[in-house]
A and B are shown apart, each in its own frame.
Chain A
Amino acid sequence: MPTVSEIMQTMEYGPSVEDSSAVRHWLKANPKFGHFINGSFTKPGEGFDTSDPATGTVLARISQGTAEDVDAAVKAARRAQPKWAGLPGHERAKYLYAIARTIQKRERFLSVLESMDNGKPIRESRDADIPLVVRHFYHHAGWAELMADEFPGHSAIGVAGQIIPWNFPLLMLAWKIAPAIAAGNTVVLKPAEYTSLTALAFAEICQEVGLPKGVVNIVTGDGETGAAIVASDVDKIAFTGSTEVGRAIRAATAGTGKRLTLELGGKSPFIVMEDADLDAAVEGVVDSIWFNQGQVCCAGSRILVAEAVAERFEALLQRRLATLRVGPPLDKSTDVGAIVDPVQKDRILNLTALAVSAGADLIGGAPRETCFIAPGYLRQVSPANPAWSEEIFGPIATLTTFRTADEAISLANNSRYGLAAQIWSESATVATDLAASVKAGVVWINGANMFDAAAPFGGMRESGYGREGGRVGMLDYLNGPKLPEAKEKASPTPKAVLDGASAGGGIDRTEKLYIGGAQKRPDGGASYRAASGDLVPLGNRKDIRNAVEAAKKATKWAAMGGHARAQVLYFIAENLSQRRDDLAKKHGAKPVDAAIERLFYYAAWADKYDGLNVQTKPNYLVNVIPEAFGTIGIVCPNDAPLLGFISLVAPAIAMGNTVVVIPAQDDPVAAFDLAQVFDTSDLPGGVVNIVSGPKDELAQVLAQHDDVAALWFCGVEGAAAVEKASTGNLKPVWSFANRDWSKPVGQGRSYLDHAVQWKTVWLPYGALPAGTGSIVY
């Protein structure tokens, strides 16, 4: 032990270890854990050890959940659900509130337990994880209270199966359980096998607050247990974890009708513009990739820095890197703790080595004993380097330079992922423009890793879909009103025909595909005889390819803004009305009149589907903004060839999407007739593209196409196939049964809900002197 005089010479910090005796006492009393099913713990079964990654010490033995355990848990949840959902919102709110209070009273215990099981520094579990857990339960106690008022006509989905990762164990539990039970669902949750302990401590809290039996069930185990939950009789799966597992879950749930939300991997850009506060950006790196040992799905792991400031930025970054303390997780002066498991440590080191052999320079990042790795970053990482695209999930960022703002955006979006983005610029003009341009569900301007229960969190692209937090997050645990369904006309797969004559007399009319604002002959050069009797183009996969390409180029549409899009929709309605009598003769008066009305309806919506500003913390302007997906594939019902088409196309394009549409197989002529109206109505070429042909075959091509960002599929039979085929780029698929399109169910806000994805943009502000506070939005 150094003397006081010696310390005055060295000015070292010395050890400052958080007391873990309460946790050790608890573990001594609970050396083996069973599952938490129907309000009580089961007898511990076959299982595995969970250990402290910093020391390798075994902490407890965890049971491996079997299919029978999962079944018992789902049954308990199923039994409890109607009564739970039937409670007045206020009653559910009281339970959530009690959970929040109890966690708060046990903050220190839970922080220490989390740090011991996961390896994260006590400062983070104490100052970040657990306070956010508490905040999440408080916030959602409020949603339970307000549910009847704020979500009229909505009801709980039923039983939710929830699978969470090991990087923020209790926080991810809170993100899953709080909204689910607030909305009246019951849950079966599986914590990650590395980090089950805080979930089990949470189960005890559920018992203590007297949460009704079966509302929360926790089954521990590895991926097999998770697969059993996915396969079980649940109504919804909510998963946070790797993109690879997310894909498997999408495939497994295809066609089952289970609701699905996925929060997957990321390789989030961290853009440093030349007018950034560089010190602030450096601290942003500390809060991103050097937070939680870099085991953060939304971490700004790809640093992109303007060439003009790259040298200075790196100098500051390296200096800051040198002051980070790697050490025991329970030491209060530790910045970087232990990687969760040796398996993960090896993975990080292998990926880093791969990046170096591909030409990157590694700064820092050296492995240390047991599960520790020093923080670091890879320099000179080009997009061709594997570290550019592979999620390292460790404390190693990549660094790449750019020249201009447009290049920064191109680089930022050169990724399969779209979870988060960080933008550093002192210009509000520049920063907000970049925020609009990045493909990411969460954007932090001049900040990093900011979270709040009121701010929706979730991804775009292969980072998954669904949101957690706030009003938008609640909708992922609610069903809208049940809509009456209608049978869809069945039709055999069409074949090319050789009799070239058009039906009827007069001048020969040749129907063509509508691609990029022009009529195009089908690639196969063949036609089929539609059930309507018309000879129509037989589209194939190449036609879909061409249509998607055209749709992708029509970016101007989204950039026009809601008002200008409304003008075009009104103009289409106006021109359709001009041709009413002509088209009424061919397609019936009622569908044409209804289509005109529907165009007006979505023209009205085009500038009114607003985002919202949410209350997070003071001095943060947090906007939740609906954004077009890009290109949506639309597979129309085989009924209502004109009205069904307009009922789906109009909401999709009103929100700024471009579409590739497979019209009614039996009668695509109505769609081509509408294309002629589009041509005269200032609709930019490529916004609507129409490819007729075999519905299921073409739907499959759309579902597999990586440039199609979302897919709407009307039909029951083919839904499983398209959902399975969507795993390539993990596009969200909205599959729904046919309906009577002439009725009110044929339109509504719910269509628009499927036409947008939410972007949460955080903007901390503060011009007044530090610490003096300011008026808040």
Chain B
Amino acid sequence: MATASLRNPGTDLRPEWFEQIRINTPAVERRAATLPVRRSLKKEWQAGWILNAILCIDLTTLAGDDTEDRVARLCAKAMQPIAPDQLAAMGVDSLTTGAVCVYPTMVGAAKRALGNSGVPVASVATGFPAGLMPLDLRLAEIRYAVDQGADEIDIVITRAHVLQGNWTALYDEMRAMREACGPARMKAILATGDLKSLENVAKASHVAMQAGSDYIKTSTGKEGVNATLPVSLVMCRAIRDYQDQTGFKVGFKPAGGLKTSKDAIAWQVLMKEELGDDWTRPDLFRIGASSLLGDLERQISHYVTGRYAASHRLTMA
């Protein structure tokens, strides 16, 4: 058995680990619905969990109008997501987001902006968001981003392979992507909103982990439905099953569906309850978000000052 800190090396393709999987969608929905109401956080606990959520955010900009200056502004926010006076009031020394997440051509700008802050840069790649580019170009895109200094690569899978049940093709492609990532951590975006059934989600999760993903991620943020708690629950259970089989811990990244502090807490409760405390840390849990941070800041501001904050008084990203 490998230790937790080791990177998931993947395995050979083992369809027998997932082909028989049975998922009852209404039961998943029931469990997902009770997760946020079975646990409640008040006062310092709520503040602590909100700050922890910030630690796990991949602060993201993935827009057609991104510029290097816009990316630099985002990086500044990532390095200082909460005003220092408010952190001091809570007795917290320093705090950054988990990473910033950008397009490959913005990696260089992000690296420069983040300097030696220690905040990693994640780059999407492989023809994000649809992934329908020739494989060699997708692999070349990964290598480009890594060359630019990306610490993490968020790849997208070929949804068609899942919808057609072509696990070998899916596996081979992701294996090649993992190899192209080299030292960079690979996050595999399943685009669950396109896969539709929870059994598809579970199977794709298993293939992604067998191919060596460091994290599995729900969405690009561009599908019709992004991260939901039921989908996340199914992916977490796949992570658990993979660990039972191999001993390796794979991370989880919900993206695109988390907007409020309530969401951030609900997902952390999901991680703690279904996978354990290790999955509440940034090395195994990331939240792909852009607007979420604003609501987390407002809650923290309220906790510190006792007043409700206006967004124009909070630092813009």
Contacts and interface: CB of A to CB of B under 8 A. Distances in A.
27 contacts: A2-B44, A3-B90, A3-B91, A5-B93, A6-B48, A8-B52, A13-B45, A14-B41, A14-B45, A127-B37, A276-B24, A277-B24, A280-B27, A335-B38, A426-B22, A426-B24, A447-B27, A447-B30, A619-B26, A764-B24, A764-B26, A765-B26, A766-B26, A769-B198, A770-B28, A770-B29, A771-B29
B228 A4 contact: no
Chain B: interface residue count, which band? 35 or more
Contacts of B314: none
A337 to B, nearest CB: 13
A123 B41 CA distance: 14
Given A279-B27, A446-B24, A769-B197, 20 more contacts: A4-B47, A5-B91, A7-B44, A7-B47, A8-B48, A8-B55, A11-B272, A11-B280, A13-B39, A16-B40, A123-B37, A276-B24, A287-B30, A333-B39, A446-B27, A764-B26, A767-B25, A770-B28, A770-B230, A771-B230
Nearest to A127: B37
A333 B40 contact: yes
Interface string B266-297: 00100011000100100000000000000000
A11 B91 contact: no
A14 B43 contact: yes
A610 interface: no
Contacts of A446: 24, 26-27
Chain A: interface residue count, which band? 35 or more
A429 interface: no
B49 interface: yes
Contacts of B52: 8, 11
A335 B273 CA distance: 12
A16 B42 contact: yes
Contact of B45 (A12, A276, A764): A12
Contacts, number: 123
B92 interface: yes
Interface string B1-30: 000000000000000000000111111111
Nearest to A2: B44
B196 interface: yes
B225 A766 contact: no
Contacts of B198: 769-770
A768 B44 CA distance: 40
A4 B51 contact: yes
Nearest to B28: A770
A13 B40 contact: yes
Interface in A265-288: 275-280, 283-284, 287
B235 to A, nearest CB: 12
Contact of A15 (B22, B30, B42, B55): B42
A11 B26 contact: no
A765 B25 CA distance: 8
Interface in B85-123: 90-93
B59 interface: no
Contact of B237 (A1, A16, A279, A332): A279
Interface string B218-251: 0000000100101100000100000010000000
Contacts of B181: none
Interface in A406-465: 426, 446-447
A19 to B, nearest CB: 11
Given A2-B44, A7-B49, A764-B27, A772 B90 contact: no
B32 interface: yes
Contacts of B38: 123, 333, 335
Nearest to A283: B31
A165 B167 CA distance: 55
A323 interface: yes
A1 B90 CA distance: 13
Contacts of A771: 29, 225, 228, 230
Given A8-B51, A11-B277, A770 B32 contact: yes
Interface string A287-299: 1000000000000
B27 A277 contact: yes
Given A3-B44, A123-B37, A280 B28 contact: yes
A461 to B, nearest CB: 28
Interface in B181-204: 193, 196-198
A276 B277 CA distance: 28
Given A4-B92, A8-B51, A767 B40 contact: no
Nearest to B52: A8
B25 A766 contact: yes
Given A5-B91, A8-B48, A277 B23 contact: yes
